[in-house]
Amino acid sequence: MRLRNTRPMDIGSTHVIVTGGSSGIGLATARLLAARGAKLSLVARGAERLEEAAKDVSAAARRASVAARAADVADQRALTRAIAELEDEQAQPCDILVTSAGLARPGHFLDLPDDVFRQMIEVDYFGTLHALRAVAPGMVERGYGSVVAVSSAAGLLGIFGYSAYGPAKFAVRGLMESVRAELTPRGVHVGVVFPPDVDTPQLAEENLWKPEETRVVGGTIKPLTAEKVAAAIVKGIDQRRFTICPDTGTRALARFGGVLMPLLNREFDRRVRAVQRSTPRT
């Protein structure tokens, strides 16, 4: 077994692969790392939007090495092939992996189709797992690397309306906690990010399905920008942090969730009852 490597990463000499890199948190993170001199490889499903994202990241890059491959992260063969092709094109194995690809579909538990529960697990959990399985062996062999997965505040606390999405993000959290224990002694940094609502195209789509109870539970908290979450991710890589929280609310929840949960649940239940009294479901 290689000795543990705790030296900071020289981001300017790394090859970074970002899944979900065509928009939102993934694209914002790619821009920041490109500006630090890293080679960037982007993976996302939509080829047209991915091409535009690659041009965007190229404009921010200190070096012109930006590559992209269209692949569905839920398709293990396609994703593994895309990652291998990107490593060949960049003539460098993956040093940093950021798994930002994800999907959220809120709704009432009794109303959601079974397929939605399956899709959340396939995209949010297995999409993270497939990417991690593709790059982790090489990182362990080299005794060097960083893997960061985007979970969610809904991966810290069960929230009304997220019975499909929340468990998938809890699974991402559990995966990274287990993997951290195995990979850290092998020199690989492991991190997991817990953003609250973030102002992205994904949130706009999510809001089309969000029950009124979910909106009320969330209160009037303003969504974070993707750039703020990206800055937290890059700082987490620099400082080799495991738990990466981009705001004080999720930081408190991650640290004191066990103590706060009964109080939060009581308050959330109060808000839900108020909504349901005023707008009874048929």
- Residues assigned a catalytic role: 151, 165, 169
Tokens read off for 182: 């195995």
Any idea how long the chain is?
A: 282
Q: Are strands 66-70 and 96-99 parallel, antiparallel or unpaired?
A: unpaired
Tokens read off for 87: 């490593």
Q: Are 100 and 25 in contact (CB under 8 A)?
A: yes
Helix axes 127-142, 76-90, angle to 10 degrees: 40
CB burial of 139-177 (b: ≥16 within 10 Å; e: otherwise) equals: bbeeebbbbbbbbbbbbbbebbbbbbbbbbbbbbbebbe
276, β-bridge pairs = none
In 3D space, the residue among 253, 261, 116, 119 whose CA is nearest the CA of residue 196 turns out to be 253
Q: Give the number of other Cβ atoms within 10 Å of residue 130's Cβ.
A: 23
Residue 89 burial class via C-beta count within 10 angstroms: exposed 0-12, middle 13-18, buried 19 and up? middle
169: enclosing H helix or E strand: helix 165-183
